[in-house]
Structure 1
Amino acid sequence: MSFRELLEDVDDTVFETLGDSARIEGYDEPVLGMFAAPWLQPKMGNTRTALREPKFEIRVRDSHGLRKGLLVSVDLPELDGGGDYDLLQLEPGGDGLVALILRKRP
């Protein structure tokens, strides 16, 4: 088993256990990922992180056909950042994940 295959197995477990769900325009099924909202300002110890845009990180294998302008509906309570977003850009991480940079729809 290659290192990448091993990481895919780990990602499967993490995303299924801890992941958030979102519906993406043009996809038949919801996609699992990790959502982060800047207004919630996550902290690492006593240091606040520098998140600027909401983002939803998904596996590269789930990113086929994504393009700017698609509707991404994050399935979380509104106070946790759930709701409808426009996809602004894709930021591949080089680790098998890609961040969907989002903007809240009015």
Structure 2
Amino acid sequence: MDFREQTAFMDGALLDALGDEAEIEGMAEPVPGFFSAPWLQPKLGRINTGLREPVFAVRIAHAHGIKEGQPLVCRLAPEDGGGRYVITKREPDGTGWINLILREVR
């Protein structure tokens, strides 16, 4: 097994064990990935804004056909970040994954 095959195997095993799923408009099946919503906490003067930047990271193999502006529904409990989002940006991270930057839809 070459390096790329080993990496794909490890990524698949991690997604199976720890991954999340999202429904993305236009995709036939749920897309596996990792959801996170880190707090950015930019400061304006002495005020913390408390902004979040939700991200859904997917493997490049699963990212074909995913575009900015598409709706995404994350299959998690609301307290864990589940809900409705819009993909605002695609950011490849250089490791075979693409971070889909999200904006929450209320």
TM range (shorter): 0.7 to 0.9
Counterpart Cα distance in 2 of 1:64 and 1:11: 17
1:6-21 equivalences under 5 Å are: 6-21=6-21
1:9-88 equivalences under 5 Å are: 9-39=9-39, 52-88=52-88
* Dislocated runs of 4+, deviation >4 Å: none
Superposed displacement of residue 38, structure 1: 2.4
Counterpart Cα distance in 2 of 1:12 and 1:69: 27
Q: Which whole-Å deviations, capped at 9, do the CAs of 1:38-97 have from their partners, x for residues lacking one?
A: 25x9xxxxxxxxx94100001000001111110010000001110000000111111111
1:47 is aligned to none
Unmatched runs of 5 consecutive residues or more in structure 2: 42-50
Q: Which has the larger radius of gyration?
A: 2
Relative to the length of structure 1, the TM-score reads 0.85
Superposed displacement of residue 28, structure 1: 1.0
Counterpart Cα distance in 2 of 1:95 and 1:2: 16
Unmatched runs of 5 consecutive residues or more in structure 1: 42-50
Counterpart Cα distance in 2 of 1:93 and 1:52: 19
Q: Secondary structure, in 3 states, of the residue corresponding to 1:38?
A: coil
Counterpart Cα distance in 1 of 2:19 and 2:71: 19
Q: Secondary structure, in 3 states, of the residue corresponding to 1:89?
A: strand
Q: Percent identity?
A: 46
1:91 is aligned to 91
Q: Which amino acid aligns with 2:95?
A: D
